[in-house]
Amino acid sequence: MTDKPMVPSAGLRRDMEILEVLAGHGDGRDADGFGVSWIAQRLGREKSQVSRALRALELEGMVERDPITRRYRLGWRLFALAARTQHARLVQIAAPYLRGLATAFDEDAYLCVLRGNLVLTLMSVPSSRVYHRVWEGISVPLLMAAAGRSLVADWDDQRIRELLRATTLPSELDSAVSGTEEWLADLAHVRSCGYAVTDVELEDSKAGVSAPVRDHRGLITAAISVSVTRTHAAARLHEIGAAVGEAARQLSISLGLVPDGRPVMSPTQGSP
Amino acid sequence: MTDKPMVPSAGLRRDMEILEVLAGHGDGRDADGFGVSWIAQRLGREKSQVSRALRALELEGMVERDPITRRYRLGWRLFALAARTQHARLVQIAAPYLRGLATAFDEDAYLCVLRGNLVLTLMSVPSSRVYHRVWEGISVPLLMAAAGRSLVADWDDQRIRELLRATTLPSELDSAVSGTEEWLADLAHVRSCGYAVTDVELEDSKAGVSAPVRDHRGLITAAISVSVTRTHAAARLHEIGAAVGEAARQLSISLGLVPDGRPVMSPTQGSP
DNA sequence: AAACTAGGTGCAACTAGCGCAACAGTAGTG
DNA sequence: CACTACTGTTGCGCTAGTTGCACCTAGTTT
């Protein structure tokens, strides 16, 4: 009845909730950390509990405390661990490609991975635009991300249909997402041309292009995407698309993909 | 008996030990993760314990498991937490260093990041001078900023040449920018000495020094710069430069950079 | 001064997690 | 194939660690 704790995650979940609060929303002016009471209230937990948990986390270096304001923020240990993630390795290798795209077109460039049905942005290289929403570490629904089409390019139609059927979107964005058949056509375009073009999905950009990044086994592990805000001219979209596709292809090679070796599938593909 | 548990870190310490093992002991070929028994033996703990802990950690996304090899490695959540926070954290931790520099030399101190081909000032700490130009939130061309040289110190010569070729400057400032070879020499100076010296570029200061700030991955994410208005004596420039370099180095360590360790790859990394 | 608030502590009750041992998969070696 | 040698998961009694309340301490406001 009362579930036996199949998973011994009692304090762990609490600690993760705390870390999640300390990470803030990324966008917000969370500025200089958070106090014990604020966190406790936000989590609906006891102050004492949070206080002790934070001290333990501090002892481990997962959080650190400003000696004067006595507020907590994420600590060096977490960053050190994050740097050892395979994602960090990927970002490291991808960085020059993203920089190249961002400066070449003066648009924001992103590196994204698939996590469940969400798209997690690993890295964003801003253009010179004044406003730049920081997406790093943020997950958005697959259908709303420019990188979405590229990340699922290898899925079979069956699975795509399920995904499209299962996903419910905020109603105001519903019209922005194209129909099922269009999606399938878009995926075919990715497979043949190596890049995807997306119109009107993300909130702060009107369009975007993306391309899949493959690892040494030929599996899609990430996607590069570039937002396109300045012009809607189809020509420009496809010009950038081709560049993104080429960057993704070269990045894949850097990851160990044999240049011309056939992945699992995808019938026609003349290497550019 | 053993001291009362002032700190309730029971499972936390175990989890941290596990994460630390998964992070690999720095050396290379841990590659594709570790198995339960191996970790348990290495920690001197029960297999069962480690197994359950890992499942809990996986549920939280702190670790992830390769579906075929069934080995664990660090997970996306760590990366996401760090990525969302690193910007705010940079500003927070940098503040005292900037204040220290500003008061030590009574000059304006700045924290800058690279955005596209522009240098964006995130924070400025004024000296005691009456007139202080507020640069926060302002972007200036890379070539005109004192921090510019530091921010691109890791780029290879190829890209630097492209940058210098591509940038067109207001004609009246053209003479202020040194030639290509001088730029490359300046970058070599940054790499060897840890700070850059810039003459006559920004509008309201005659000279400036700057130094690159590296994050936990060893990548340059920001630069500290200090304007030098009071004297042109080269000796003073280099005195301040050394201080700025040292501040940037300590800031980098505060951000999680391992003091002497090699980032990931030292030599010229193959990339566009 | 009192009256806040934020953060930390002591302690008894209780529950979560430890460790042992048994179990279930997978893989070699002859 | 049974034989051994693994690695990873699970059941369960017992104990250690966490919980939540009430109570402090210290700083800030009225």
Mean pLDDT for the stretch of residues B6-18: 79
Kindly report the bases of strand D lying within 7 A of a protein C-beta atom: 6-11, 16-22
**Can you tell me the distance from the alpha carbon of A187 to that of A196, in angstroms, rounded to the nearest whole number?**
7
Long-range contacts, stretch B38-43, CB < 8 angstroms, 24+ apart: B39/B72, B43/B14, B43/B17, B43/B18
Residue A204: the pLDDT is 59
What CA–CA distance (Å, rounded) separates A153 from A248? 14
The reply to whether residue B53 touches residue A92, judged by beta carbons under 8 angstroms, is no
Residue of A12, A110, A111, A113 to mutate when probing chain B, most B C-beta within 10 A: A12
Q: How confident is the model at residue B175 (pLDDT cuts 50, 70, 90)?
A: very low
* Residue B223, pLDDT score: 97
DSSP B19: H
Distance of CA A143 to the CA centre of its chain: 13
Contact present, B111 and B224 (Cβ < 8 Å): yes
The pLDDT assigned to B6 comes to: 52
| A110 CB neighbour count, 10 Å cutoff | 27
User: In degrees, to the nearest 5, what angle opens at C-alpha A70 toward C-alphas A65 and A75?
Assistant: 15
A138 closest CA partner among A150, A116, A115, A122:
A122
The CA distance from B244 to B236, in Å, is 12
List, for chain A, all residue ranges whose pLDDT scores fall below the cut of 50. Answer: 1-5, 175, 261-272
Q: Hey, which of A200-204, A251-255, B28-32, B228-232 has the most confident mean pLDDT?
A: A251-255
State pLDDT tens for residues A121-134.
999 988 877 677 77
Q: Region B204-215: what's the mean pLDDT?
A: 83
Give the model's pLDDT for residue A119.
95
Give the pairing of strands B139-141 and B72-74: unpaired
Residue B262's pLDDT is what? 44
Closest nucleotide to residue B49 (Cα to C1')? C18
Q: Does residue B271 surpass a pLDDT of 90? A: no
**CA–C1' span, A246 to C15, in Å?**
57
Q: Model's pTM, two decimal places?
A: 0.83
pLDDT at B4: 47
Among A8-17, A207-216, B227-236, B243-252, the range scoring the smallest mean pLDDT is B227-236
Say if CB A7 and CB B8 are below 8 A apart. no
User: Which DSSP string corresponds to A17-83?
Assistant: HHHHHHHTTSSS---S-B-HHHHHHHHT--HHHHHHHHHHHHHTTSEEE-TTT--EEE-HHHHHHHH
- pLDDT of A270: 32
Nearest-10 Cα torsion for B79, B84, B89, B92 = -170
**Lowest-pLDDT choice from A175-184, B62-71, B158-167:** A175-184
Percent of chain B with pLDDT over 90: 33
Does B83 contact A33 at a Cβ distance shorter than 8 Å?
Answer: no
Contact, A157 vs A124, CB < 8 A?
no
d(CA A23, C1' C12) / Å: 35
Find the residue in A nearest to B80 (Cα). A137
pLDDT tens per residue, range A46-64: 898 899 999 999 989 999 9
- Please, what is the Cα angle at A29 between A25 and A35, to 5 degrees? 85
Q: How far apart are CA A59 and CA A38, in angstroms?
A: 21
